[in-house]
Structures are given as structure tokens and as C-alpha cells.
Amino acid sequence: MDAEPAQGRNMENLEERGHLLTEQVNPNSQNLDQLTSLELVDLFNQEDAKTLSAIATARTQLAQAIDCTANALAQGGRLFYVGAGTSGRLGVLDAAECPPTFCTPPELVQGIIAGGAGALVRSSEDLEDKAQDGVEAIAHRHVTELDVVVGITAGGTTPFVHGAIQAARQRGAKTILIACVPTEQVSLEVDLDIRLLVGPEVLAGSTRLKAGTVTKMALNILSTSVMVRLGKVYGNRMVDVAVTNKKLHDRALRILQDLTSLNREEAGFLLERSGRRVKLALLMHWTGLDAEEGEHLLSTNQENLRKAVLSCQG
């Protein structure tokens, strides 16, 4: 199906957003400016509880997004988050946290924000209105049919995201939309449509609040689960952690100690022998292989530690 008509329909009347769920007035906070500090805290807490229900309602779509993304990355694809303002910053944040947590190359998960790096610390909300910038961002990163592009837009109408999604579809990439409005208010042709309906904000229209919180939750679930599926986790331990500072060095040693009978000094020696790769260190300890042999075994088992250990035992 040609994507152009869908884009045309959804780009109409973008100035008229009052009907959107994210722009409506929350009846529970009509007297927001008259509340005490304690009452404010209680109100925010009550409203934020709705984020859990929104995630639960979208559980099937989130699971499908995990499968889609894990399959793409396993075949050499990349994951891109695209957004503007708060949505863009959340995408960049999630992407930036993948290399230290899972030792992924920085190009594997990338955040694209309208306005570029400067928009991370300065408001550049006017740049979200340029659909062509979204198209160019996709072209600049040479997105292909192997990749997954996740458009993040609380209100669903951001032209920058629409442009990026349309461009990604034309290049054959898998596309996912994360929005906080129902499909009958804003629709967009994508492979997977995730709607996180948390209702009107405590401060009307301020989607950095509940919408931002639920989006961060969804991205946490998506990226972490994808890395689990890619074998970067053993049990619930981040065995692909990048040992780049004292805190992470300590965490690596504790993982080794917890999963083996080694004391801290022995764990430290093993970690150094493995080139500071926790996953490889564990494989070496459990199988008796040296570093080179362990590397080869991991490679033949798609870097999955559990599969590598089982293949050696078999």
C-alpha cells in the first residue's frame, strides 16, 4: 500500500490539537494551583499509577516489538529511536545507555532527535514541525530493510517523526510507533503500533509528565528485553557489561564471584585473563578453555553464554 496518502491525511490540521488525549484538561487537577505540597505529591503519585495500567494494556504490542527488533538486530540490523523534545531526549537517553550496560557498539542503537545534539539541553521544539528533517535524518543514517525505526511522539502528530517513519518505510525498514493518544485520534501506517494511554496530564498538555514516564518505561522494556534475547544477559546478570570505570569493575567482580566459587582476588585475575569480558571469563572458568578458544565458542553460538556452555557440555 502506498504510504503517501496516509501521510497526507495525518499531516492535515496539525494546528488543531485540542481534541488529542494528551492536550485535554485533567479533571483531577483543576485546582492544581491551590494544592499544598503534600497534596501535589499525592496527586502526581495517583496519576503516575496510570502508567502501569497503560503498559499492561500494551503488553502484546510491546512483546511483538521485542521480537521484531531482536530478530532484526540478530541479522545485522540497527535500532533507531526518532523523536522531538522530551520524546526525542528519551530515545537518545535509552540509546546512550546500551553501550555501557550491554557493551554494544554505539551504532547498534541510535537516538535521532529533531535539532540534533543541541536539542538535548536546549528547547528546540520548533524543529519538530519539519517533516523533511525527519526524512533527511533517515537518509543520513543510510537506513535499510535490515533496520528498525521507532517513532516516539506523545501526541502522535509530530511532523519530524511522521517524515522519518514514512522515509523508513520507503526504504523497507520495520517501523514502530509509540504514542499516547488512541488510534482514532491519530493514525499512522506502521508495522507495529504501540499506544500508551495514560490520560490527560496533571499540568494540561505537559507530556514530559505521565506520557514521558510511560514512554521511558516502554523503552526500558524494549531495549533491555531485546538485549536479553540477543544473549547479553545470563540469568539476570549483565554479563556483557563494559568495564570502563571503578563502579563497573566492581560490578564485574561481583558477578564473577556470585556465579562462581571464586574469591575477589581470583575473580580479578580471571577478569584480566579474559580481557575484562565478564561473559568470556565465566565461559573460561566453567569450561577450562583459554581466551581464544572461548572467543571462538561464543562466536559459533551467537555470543550466547548459556548456549556456549551447553554446546561445550554436549
Hey, which residues are catalytic here? 97, 128
Final residue of a structural domain among 202, 229, 256: 229
Residue in this structure with the C-alpha cell 530478530, named with its chain if needed: 71
What CATH number is associated with residue 111? 3.40.50.10490
Cβ(76)–Cβ(147) under 8 Å? no
- What is the per-residue pLDDT for 197? 98
Q: Are residues 32 and 62 in the same domain?
A: yes
pLDDT less than 50: residues of the chain:
1-13
Q: Are residues 181 and 251 in the same domain?
A: no
- What is the per-residue pLDDT for 12? 46
> Is residue 240 included in any domain, yes or no?
no
> Is residue 178 included in any domain, yes or no?
yes
Q: Are residues 21 and 89 in the same domain?
A: yes
What CATH number is associated with residue 306? 1.10.8.1080
Final residue of a structural domain among 229, 262, 297: 229
Q: Are residues 298 and 153 in the same domain?
A: no
Q: Are residues 81 and 211 in the same domain?
A: yes
Side-chain half-sphere CA neighbours of 227 within 13 A: 28
Closest to 84 measured CA to CA, from 43, 42, 126: 126
- What is the per-residue pLDDT for 48? 98
Count how many domains the chain has. Answer: 2
HEC letters along 74-95: HCCCCEEEEECHHHHHHHHHHH
- What is the per-residue pLDDT for 2? 40
- What is the per-residue pLDDT for 4? 41
Q: Are residues 193 and 268 in the same domain?
A: no
- What is the per-residue pLDDT for 123? 73
The domain of 309 spans 246-313
- What is the per-residue pLDDT for 120? 87
- pTM metric for this prediction: 0.90
Q: Are residues 251 and 154 in the same domain?
A: no
Q: Are residues 115 and 87 in the same domain?
A: yes
- What is the per-residue pLDDT for 250? 96
